[in-house]
Structures are given as C-alpha cells and as structure tokens.
Structure 1
Amino acid sequence: MAEDKTPDPVDIHVGRRLRMRRKDLGYSQQALADALGLTFQQVQKYEGGSNRISASKLHATAMFLKTPIGFFFEGLDDPEGEDSTAADLANEMADFWSLPGAPDLARAFTTIQSTGMRKHLVDLARAVAGEE
C-alpha cells in the first residue's frame, strides 16, 4: 500500500504560523535555519507543512522567535467541535500575513489616526481587488 504524501493539515497550519511569526520579526529563512542548525530548505519544508517540526525544534523555534509554543497551534479547529469562527479568522490572518508586503501594510494601517482615512484605504483596496 502506497504511503500518502499529502501534508497533514496541522503541519500546514503550524508552518503557516511559523512563516507569519518569522516574517513579522523580519527574519529570513536562512537566519532561522542558522539559529536552529538547519538548512534554509528545511525551514521551507517546515513552513510549507511538507515536513513535520519535531517537538525539540518547535521549542527551539519558539525560543528564537520569542513566541509561546501555543502560538503555532492557535486557530486550529477545537476537537470538541465548538464554534470554528476564531479558527477560520486565524487561518485567514495567517494567509494574509504570509503575503509579500502584508505585514508592512498592516503596521502602516494601524498608525493611521483618522478613522475616515482608514475607511478610504479599505474602500480603495476593495475597489482595486474588484478590478482584477
């Protein structure tokens, strides 16, 4: 029987959260790899979910990124089957945060004092997205 090579959804989720936090702190894949004694290709595989992060590497990653280990699991569906709205939002945010420029855009947006200007920026983004 052939082994299924499809990445586990949990590994994909943890990888997305890893990428989001790494980018948020401005680290390259190479910088993280160097800190963990890995190749940048291994970090790519972690972030893509194609390779699982061992408990010891996840701990070392959390220490390097100054992040609680639970951060990497935030947004996963609750095994009790409770409301998944928070999990859906966390997954959506992880997808957004992994886009080039998204962290810079989010940081700049939060510094805009005028609520009217923030609304105009959101309206502009929606208009541009509708043109594509």
Structure 2
Amino acid sequence: MSEHLIDKHAGKRLRLRRTILGMSQDVLGNAVGVTFQQIQKYERGINRMSASRMFLIAKKLEVPVNYFFEGLEDHADYVDCPSNHLAEKRTGDNMTDEEHEELTTRETLELARAYHKIKAPNVRKQIFELVKALGKHGG
C-alpha cells in the first residue's frame, strides 16, 4: 500500500497524542488488538487505519475520531494525491516532518507537561519568556 498524505497526517496525530499520554506503542496495540509494530506502521503512515480501528484508537487515546484529521481542512488540494509527490510540501498541520519530529520528542513533551503543572500564571509567563529568549539566541 502506498503512503498517502492523509494517512501520514493521521499517523503523526496518533503518535503525538499517544506520546502526550505517555503510552507505549505496545500498550496501545494491546488495547486495540494489534501489535506494536502495527501501531508503528500507522504512526508512519505506512499502513492505513480502518474506520473501526481508528474508532478504537480514538477511544483509547480519549480523543474524538476527527482529532486525527485536524489541520487538513486548509489543504483540500492534497486529497487524493500520494505523499511521495508532495515531498517538498508541508503537512496538513503546516509543519515539515522535521519540525513535527522536534515537537514530538519525549524531552519536548516532558517540558510541556512540567510547564503546564506550574500553577502561578506569572511564573509560567516568566519561564515562557526565558525559554523563548534562550531559543532565539541559541543559548
């Protein structure tokens, strides 16, 4: 089966949500009746999720089914176009594959989780500004 942009987008969304929840591919696979290797293939967009499997995965990840398609609305021109013809185009969430990988690393997600646990709004804002400034200057 050839990879398709929509399958890749849905797979990226799957990986993002699974990682945010701190859930392993093995745990998710067991919960929905597939191997962790199959979850890997879904996440890479190599294999297409059936509607019933997507429904089960959405339930386990505590998201609506349409979560997997969020960000595609503005890219209707990509529908029915194999992803290998779109290598230089951005994905439906308007990020390159490399940018998406950076945002879904465990370190990035742990940083986001820790940040959101900070209760004081002024402290959160200061930390946000500090991280933004350090990132801007490569510090």
TM-score by length of 2: 0.73
Alpha-carbon separation, structure 1, partners of 2:77 and 2:47: 27
Name the CA shift for 1:125/1:54 in 2 (closer, same or farther; >3 Å): same
Unaligned segments of structure 1, at least 5 residues: none
**Percentage of matched positions with identical amino acids:** 37
Match of 2:18 in 1: 22
Alpha-carbon separation, structure 2, partners of 1:118 and 1:33: 35
Match of 1:79 in 2: 76
TM-score by length of 1: 0.77
Match of 2:135 in 1: 125
Match of 2:87 in 1: none
Matched positions, count = 121
Which sits farther off after the overlay, 112-121 or 44-53?
112-121
Decide whether the 8 Å contact of 2:19 with 2:106 is kept in 1: no
Match of 1:98 in 2: 104
Matches within 5 A, 1:41-80: 41-76=37-72, 77-79=74-76
Deviation by residue 1:49-80 (Cα, 9 ceiling, x = unmatched): 00000001000101111110010000113438
Unaligned segments of structure 2, at least 5 residues: 79-91
Shift >6 Å, 4+ stretches: none
Match of 2:84 in 1: none
Alpha-carbon separation, structure 2, partners of 1:93 and 1:109: 20
